Structure 1
Amino acid sequence: MAGTTTVEVPTSDGAADAYLARPDGDGPFPAVLFFMDAFGLRPRLAEMAERIAAQGYLVLVPNLFHRTGPMPRVDLADLADPQRRGELFGRIVPLITALTPELVARDAGAYLDFLAGRDDVAAGPVAIVGYCMGGTNALRAIEAHPDRIAALASFHAGRVVTDEPDSPHRGVGAVTGELYFAHADRDDSMTADHIATLEGALDAAGVTYRSEVYAGAPHGFTMADTAMYDEGATERHWAALFDLLERTLRRAGRGGADDGPHASA
């Protein structure tokens, strides 16, 4: 039975608090780096990490906002009240924008070093999964560390495509692993035009990927502690994630052939 503990991960800017979920037994286990959504470390993310760990993976969920201190408790009931929702996002948005590509790359290196230094983590590359802003930053992480991250699964990420020179989609040429993108339907932060632009960049770079729109699913559809939760879309996401992890971590570790996708689907 997988369980979650809290650990501190050394970084160049102080320790990052994090959840660590691991299967029973001694390992070593293939590792998964889990990038949080904007609402941060909380019971829902611990529950999700434990579900991944129950499949035989050691999972690290760092507080991406660690530079402002340990993750404060966020009351998601505030989302139902327009004024309190505005106040909540007024606190969160500056934390999101402060995560520059350079900081994400540097922190990702520290998280990877932490995993590599554990006796219960299998040697070789890890996989990364990210939700909402975590999906966007997970893409930046695999672009910065293509030799250390074998696969990315990104769910309802926003602002993967922007007009900025450092837009995440512009760096996909560095990726050597396999990518999976699950887009929310009718998501203003990742429109059909944005998806087409991302897929065009992936095709041009020759990246192995799958990109899917989850019809009818809103932004944030995996988060059961918010009104955006969609049970059907969430179960679909688990199936896609575990398929990717099995193919890129466990099967690769056994020396099996890659029979994954080689284009968008």
Structure 2
Amino acid sequence: MIERDVLVGTKHGQMHAFAVCPDGGGPYPPVIFYMDAPGYREELKNMARRIARAGYYCLLPDLYYRLGTVRFDLHRRDESLSSVIRAARNTLTNAMIAEDTAGMLAFLDAQEEVKPGPVGCVGHCMSGRFIVTVAARFPERIAAAAAFYGVQIVTDQPDSPHLIADRIKGEVYLSFAEVDELVPANVVPDITAIFDKAGVRHDVEVVPGTHHGYCFAERAAYHAAASEAAWGKLFAMWKRRLK
């Protein structure tokens, strides 16, 4: 495996990111892994390594770069730390992430290990809204987008991702937990109806017996069987659309 800490140029400055791909045999299809609210950390880097082992060039950006170097110790998480995480999360907008994604695509296009053409992306929780946004904002590049227990995909705000979801040309996989207080009941039927009407190829599911965060092995909500099934669907979609 080849692992690098890299800097991605954006209109707002230099964004730190982790890049990983197999050693030799490339170039590899690119995947952007958008972090969740607790931010850039080793847990996500391990997930990026798993993506790379499956034959992809994975880029994990630190979306909080505008704030400097922000790292949270989740093993010491209490309400005070949670409030700081929420504050950091609330500094980001869908427009910011779309601008950052333009920089990430330019970065990927410049890497010799990266296969030219379609790009995949994946995110959890906070990044659900970012996944739908970038798939719609970059329909010619994002060919396979996935989000797990994504939040704020359907809102009453003018930048709500569902308002532009009909622009998506790639395939979308949205997996929601059965128990998730962060996802209102209308989200799944609303986004499904939009995809159906627009003819977007999609898999929108609610996974029985799961709670928010079910893919994270370091959390109490981890559901091993559901997580492995999700990884399987994710890799199958990327194989269809990227390889």
Q: TM-score, normalised by structure 1?
A: 0.88
Question: Following TM superposition, by how much is the alpha carbon of 1:3 offset from its aligned partner in structure 2, in angstroms?
Answer: 4.6
Counterpart code for 2:63: L
Cα distance, 1:29 vs. partner? 0.7
Alignment pair present for 1:120 and 2:113:
yes
1:22 is the counterpart of 2:21: yes
Structure 1 residue 33 and structure 2 residue 26: aligned? no
> 1:76 is matched with which residue?
74
Alignment of structure 1 residues 149-188 onto 2, 5 Å: 149-188=142-181
Match of 1:240 among 217, 227, 233: 233
- For the residue of structure 2 that corresponds to 1:196, the secondary structure is helix
> Residues of 2 paired with 1:43 and 1:9: CA distance?
19
Deviation at 1:165, TM superposition (A): 2.3
Determine if contact 1:179/1:208 at 8 Å carries over to the other structure. yes
Query: Which of 218, 222, 229 lines up with 1:229 in the alignment?
Result: 222
The one-letter amino acid of 1:181's match is L
Question: How many angstroms apart in 2 are the aligned matches of 1:44 and 1:3?
Answer: 18
Post-superposition Cα deviations, 1:173-225, rounded to whole Å, max 9, x if no partner, equal 11110000110112122233211111111112221101111111111111112
User: How far apart are the structure 2 equivalents of 1:154 and 1:41?
Assistant: 17
Q: Is the 8 A contact 1:16 1:70 kept in 2?
A: no
Distance 2:198 2:89 in 1: 28
Structure-1 residue corresponding to 2:46 = 47
RMSD: 1.3
Q: Is the 8 A contact 1:26 1:120 kept in 2?
A: no
2 CA distance for matches of 1:94 and 1:204?
Answer: 36
**2:89 alignment partner, one of 96, 101, 107:** 96
Question: 2:94–2:129: 8 Å Cα contact kept in structure 1?
Answer: no
In the TM superposition, residue 25 of structure 1 has moved relative to its aligned partner by 0.3
AA in 1 matched with 2:152: R
The whole-number CA distance in structure 1 between the counterparts of 2:217 and 2:2 is 19
Letter in 1 for 2:236: D
Match of 2:122 in 1: 129
State the shift of 1:26 in Å.
5.0
Q: Deviations over 1:100-135 (max 9, x none)?
A: 121111001101110011111111021111111122
Is contact 1:76-1:226 (8 Å) kept? no
Residue 97 of structure 1, CA deviation: 2.0
Q: Distance in 2 between matches of 1:70 and 1:215?
A: 37
Deviation at 1:89, TM superposition (A): 2.2
* 2:61 equivalent in structure 1: 62
Number of corresponding residues: 243
Q: 2:99 maps to what in 1?
A: 106
TM-score (norm. length: structure 2): 0.95
Residue 215 of structure 1 aligns to which amino acid in structure 2? P
* 2:20 counterpart SS class: strand
Task: Give the share of equivalent positions with the same residue, in percent.
Answer: 37
Q: 1:212 aligns with which of 205, 208, 220?
A: 205
